[in-house]
Amino acid sequence: MSNITLREVHSKKDLKKFVTFPFNLYKDSKYWVPPIIADEMATLSKDQNPVFEHAEARFFLAYKENTIVGRVAAIINRSETEQQNLKKMRFGWFDTIDDLEVSKALLKQVEDIGKANNLEFIEGPVGFSNLDKVGALTEGFDEIGTMVTWYNYSYYPKHFEALGFAPEKEYLESRFYMSQLGDLRFMKAHDLVVKRYGYKAGNYTTTKELMPYLDEMFELFNHSYKELSTFVPISKKQQAYFKKKFINFVNPEYIKFVFDKDDKMIAFAVVLPSFSEALQKVKGKLFPFGFLKLLKAKKHSNTMLFYLIGVDPKYHNKGVPAVIFYEFNKTFQKDKIETCYRTPELINNTASLQIWKDFNAEVIKRRKTFKKIIN
């Protein structure tokens, strides 16, 4: 008989236990990157994250002899299950010791909630939407994580498959070097496509200059990603929440827009400095000195993460990436950026893969979601 018990999170005190469990699980890992505890608490708090206007989540901790040994979030996104009629039970924030019985207990709880809500399958690890973290690592366990991805030990995929889950979606993470950019074919096409289509680049040096364009960027995000099988639209309130959440991490010069000849936004790209090593040093706490370490990383990192990139589908195959990367090349050369990483991209997102096909990027990580039919 199993000696594992599950307890649902109901109090702020228990939510903090949920958020901080990985700090113990990964304390000996060189590759795990801690979240900011306060940010993670806000993301999972119904009174702070507007996603809860159309999503439900229940959080569970697994105990063994009064010691926390696992956690999981059971998520239903009503925009997905009702408006899109996709009967999907999501799970995320999944972490466990290497004990199959713990994984079994946690995922059985998710399955029971899915069945009670007449849902047809479970899929995870995923968050609430496309702007949350996604997927369990299946390759690249010896590469440092990022602030926008989950890290996990190599036994996680084995647990999923042992419990009847099959790989569902695959994501790639890649690395390339700035020294490659200047020689790329589309960089040389910049002047031609600007002259042919009348494209205009949007470059900004202050947050105040940038802010008026962010709503239009999110609308374009919804439009450019809507064909993906994973997509759930981002509401106006969520857009405001993400603006507030990320604006302090973004150097305004690292957001680029492309406008057509009529000044309509047709493309965007958001790049973040790599905060991985700084986040490992601050150990989840901004105070008293954590924010200073993050500020230093923001100003002086020579490594960047391509966080989001989107192009209006009408402008696919019309040279828009040439404008984006021409502008980034100028900025990155000024700031002596050396290395760039691509955050997880769906392997069948052909539009995105087309953007990157000339980069000769090295795939350094693969991650997958896992699916199980339950009804």
Position 15 in a domain:
yes
Position 271 in a domain:
yes
Angle made by CA atoms 259, 263, 267, in degrees to the nearest 5: 20
Give dist(CA 369, CA 123) in Å, integer. 6
Cβ within 8 Å of residue 291, ≥6 positions away: none
Segment holding 314, helix H or strand E: none
**Looking at the structure, do residues 206 and 345 belong to the same domain, yes or no?**
yes
Nearest to 138 by CA among 163, 160, 121: 160
Q: How many C-beta atoms surround the C-beta of residue 341 within 10 A?
A: 24
Please report which residue ranges of 258-375 form alpha helices under DSSP H.
Answer: 276-282, 290-300, 320-334, 350-356
Nearest to 265 by CA among 213, 227, 307, 309: 213
The CATH number of residue 62's host domain is: 3.40.630.30
Give dist(CA 46, CA 63) in Å, integer. 24
Whether omega for the bond prior to residue 125 falls within 30 degrees of 0, making it cis, is: yes
Segment holding 170, helix H or strand E: strand 166-177
Q: What is the pLDDT of residue 1?
A: 43
**Looking at the structure, do residues 133 and 119 belong to the same domain, yes or no?**
yes
Give dist(CA 300, CA 294) in Å, integer. 10
Nearest to 97 by CA among 67, 127, 138: 67
**Looking at the structure, do residues 168 and 243 belong to the same domain, yes or no?**
no
69 in Cβ contact with 102 (< 8 Å) = yes
**Looking at the structure, do residues 167 and 181 belong to the same domain, yes or no?**
no
Distances (CA, A) of 292 to 33, 34, 174, 281: 17, 16, 29, 11
93 in Cβ contact with 73 (< 8 Å) = yes
Q: What is the pLDDT of residue 71?
A: 98
**Looking at the structure, do residues 187 and 255 belong to the same domain, yes or no?**
yes
Position 371 in a domain:
no
Q: What is the pLDDT of residue 84?
A: 85
Q: What is the pLDDT of residue 360?
A: 76
Q: Is 58 helix (H, G, I), strand (E, B) or coil?
A: strand
| End residue of a domain, out of 134, 157, 173 | 173
**Looking at the structure, do residues 19 and 114 belong to the same domain, yes or no?**
yes
Domain hosting residue 337, numbered range: 176-366
**Looking at the structure, do residues 157 and 253 belong to the same domain, yes or no?**
no
| End residue of a domain, out of 124, 141, 173 | 173
Position 372 in a domain:
no
Quote the tokens at residue 323: 């404008």
79 in Cβ contact with 119 (< 8 Å) = no
Q: What is the pLDDT of residue 286?
A: 84
Q: What is the pLDDT of residue 184?
A: 62
Which residue type occupies 137?
L
**Looking at the structure, do residues 152 and 93 belong to the same domain, yes or no?**
yes
Position 81 in a domain:
yes
**Looking at the structure, do residues 138 and 244 belong to the same domain, yes or no?**
no
**Tens-of-pLDDT digits for all 375 residues of the chain?**
469 999 999 999 999 999 999 999 999 999 999 999 999 999 999 999 999 999 999 999 999 999 999 999 999 999 899 888 899 999 999 999 999 999 999 999 999 999 999 999 999 999 998 779 999 999 999 999 999 999 999 999 999 999 999 999 999 999 988 776 656 666 678 889 999 999 999 999 998 999 899 999 999 998 888 777 667 778 888 888 888 777 777 889 999 999 999 999 999 999 999 999 999 999 999 887 787 888 888 888 899 999 888 899 999 889 898 899 889 888 988 999 989 999 998 898 777 777 777 777 889 999 999 999 997
**Looking at the structure, do residues 131 and 66 belong to the same domain, yes or no?**
yes
